[in-house]
Amino acid sequence: MNKMKTNPMNYLYLGIAFVVGYILFKFIFPMLSRKFGVKEEEDEDALDKQNIKDIDADIKFYDKTENLTYPKSEYYNFATGIFNSVGYFYDDSYLVNSYLRKLNNNLDFLMLKKSFGKKNSGAVGFTKWRGLEEYLQHYYNDDAKIIKKFNDILKSKDIKFRI
């Protein structure tokens, strides 16, 4: 029987590749993310807190004239459904349409937006946390027809907010 000999240098090459990969993911990609527009965590936290305050203020305003169509827990289900139906390797804009059709007023939209919160999106090393509108715009940026369809659904329900 002929045994295959392994070259000890292969282990060295493998070790070097591992170290280079580790350095790229641990140090280089985060540095590039900061350089190309991903804000520092403190800035993001401050923006998130302001965004939540703005959404809460809008909810308080619309709560005087409109009623929620569903229990609050249902909006979390809608938000999770939208998040799960959109991605780089899959997308189901029809499912997003079906969730948007369930909204009946501005208050419903705001509760969906608040429930969605911020979701992580983007390629490895270049991720960004995005709210509902920005998240859908990010994934459907090449297809204006889909965004228009989303906005047409909201407009048909007399919802003033747009994607």
pLDDT tens string 14-65: 889 988 877 776 766 666 655 555 555 545 566 577 888 999 999 999 999 9
Is residue 162 domain-resident? no
**By residue range, what is the domain housing residue 20?**
1-37
132 and 151 in a single domain? The answer is yes
21 and 81 in a single domain? The answer is no
Q: What is the pLDDT of residue 9?
A: 83
Beta-ladder partners of 128: 121
Q: What is the pLDDT of residue 118?
A: 87
45 and 64 in a single domain? The answer is yes
pLDDT per residue over 73-99, tens digit each? 999 999 999 998 987 667 789 999 999
Q: What is the pLDDT of residue 43?
A: 52
Q: What is the pLDDT of residue 3?
A: 56
**pTM to 2 decimals?**
0.70
12 and 85 in a single domain? The answer is no
Give the C-alpha separation, 14 to 54, whole Å. Answer: 51
Closest by CA position to 112, among listed 125, 101, 124, 103: 103
| Total structural domains within the chain | 2
45 and 85 in a single domain? The answer is yes
7 and 30 in a single domain? The answer is yes
**72-84 vs 106-116: helix axis angle to the nearest 10?**
60
51 and 105 in a single domain? The answer is yes
136 and 66 in a single domain? The answer is yes
Q: What is the pLDDT of residue 59?
A: 94
22 and 79 in a single domain? The answer is no
110 and 134 in a single domain? The answer is yes
Length of the chain: 163
Q: What is the pLDDT of residue 74?
A: 97
110 and 91 in a single domain? The answer is yes
39: helix, strand or coil = coil
